[in-house]
Amino acid sequence: QVERVLAQADSWQFDSWRLRDITHGHPLSALGFYLIQRAGLIERLNLRPAALARLLRHIEAGYNDNPYHNATHAADVLQTLHVTIHGAQLHVHYLDQLGLLAAYFAAIVHDYGHPGLTNDFLVATSDPLAVRYNDKSPLENHHAAAAFGLLQRPELDVLTPLSKSERAAFRKQVIEMVLATDVKQHFALLSQFNNTHRLASFHMAPKPVDDMERLLTLQLAIKAADLGHLGEELEVHQRWLSSLEEEFFRQGDKERQLGLPISPLFDRGKQGVSKSQVGFYDFVALPLLHALCSAFPGTQPLMTCFMGNYHYWKSVEGNATTLAQKRASVSIRPEGSASQLPDLDREGKHKS
């Protein structure tokens, strides 16, 4: 049963919750080992399978049991990044074997040790992570630094066979990809990507313009993967949204207890993120997907998946607006107003 679900890892839509259930709570280590092994990276990079398995289990155990930012989310991001890389054919010219391993590793660790709180909250409360990283992307810096801390342990260091320069290249790519997942970097990275790719030509297997553009593309790919639940089957997508909403509400509860302003959408007494997503699709998700698909047409199926749920949320919003308008018209109509309407015949003409 596990093998059957893992075999679906090449699909544009994937249920990581199901993988979590059938692996008894080990979706990240199971999927991570499966993809790395299937790509031939263990053999080609001379990795130690036992050390890799140990490392993946340690990383998985280091994810907190948050409603949203947990090991299952990391598995979901890994799977979406995997199909994005292969759909865009980045594995042909953008990524060599070491680069592919680094991309997978970045997805695996991108939320490692996440406390279930936002960067803004950490900064506002002078959390030790915010102090350590000078208020600049404390979460993302922590994810990367803590993950590389594991690699310093001999029994977990899967990079032992690599040269010093290879380890440095691996480290640089992982760090840059993980730091790109800070939402505050979104618009700057997207603008930079669009400016770079205005002159890009379309190839079946595109080649990077230079190393900067290569890294920028990988950063955009992991950002799209980080939003991957927006394109999952509706029921799976809604489950992720409910989980995110609960995590937000828990932070809102803390903000209330500490006397801090409650962040938008974090107040249990008000509408949360599970009620509507149209604005987020319009201003964040779809521009990102459009940029990616324009530069790499092979990722178009991902946009199609996103659009399916976007149309659902548009219909929900439209129905809510219509209902509100009907209620408003009823509440402001004076008594007896029906008798004051023009007397029309069946064709809608005034009777003489």
Report the catalytic residues. Answer: 69
Query: CA 11, 14, 16, 18 torsion: positive or negative?
Result: negative
The whole-angstrom separation of Cα 183 and Cα 312 is: 24
- The terminus-to-terminus CA distance of the chain in angstroms comes to 76
The whole-angstrom separation of Cα 159 and Cα 172 is: 14
Structure tokens at 336: 């007896």
The alpha carbon of residue 137 and the mean position of all alpha carbons in its chain are separated, in whole angstroms, by 17
The alpha carbon of residue 94 and the mean position of all alpha carbons in its chain are separated, in whole angstroms, by 21
Beta bridge partners of 350: 344
Query: CA-CA-CA-CA torsion for 320, 321, 325, 326, nearest 10 degrees?
Result: -30
DSSP characters for 172-224? Answer: HHHHHHHHTTSGGGHHHHHHHHHHHHTTPPP-SS---SSHHHHHHHHHHHHHH
The single-letter DSSP state of residue 285 is I
343: CB partners within 8 A, 6+ apart: 350, 351
Whether residue 10 is annotated as binding a ligand: the answer is: no
Whether residue 226 is annotated as binding a ligand: the answer is: yes
Helix axis angle for 300-332 and 286-295, nearest 10°, is 150
The whole-angstrom separation of Cα 230 and Cα 212 is: 28
Whether residue 23 is annotated as binding a ligand: the answer is: no
Whether residue 111 is annotated as binding a ligand: the answer is: yes
Q: Please identify which residue in the block is written with the tokens 């990616």.
A: 292
Whether residue 120 is annotated as binding a ligand: the answer is: no
Whether residue 251 is annotated as binding a ligand: the answer is: no
The single-letter DSSP state of residue 276 is -
Cβ contact 286:278 at 8 Å:
no
Whether residue 73 is annotated as binding a ligand: the answer is: yes
Whether residue 69 is annotated as binding a ligand: the answer is: yes
The whole-angstrom separation of Cα 278 and Cα 280 is: 6
CB atoms under 10 Å from CB of 209, counted, come to 15
Whether residue 197 is annotated as binding a ligand: the answer is: no
Q: Which residues are annotated as a binding site for Zn(2+)?
A: 73, 110-111, 226
Q: Which residues are annotated as a binding site for AMP?
A: 69-73, 111, 226, 277
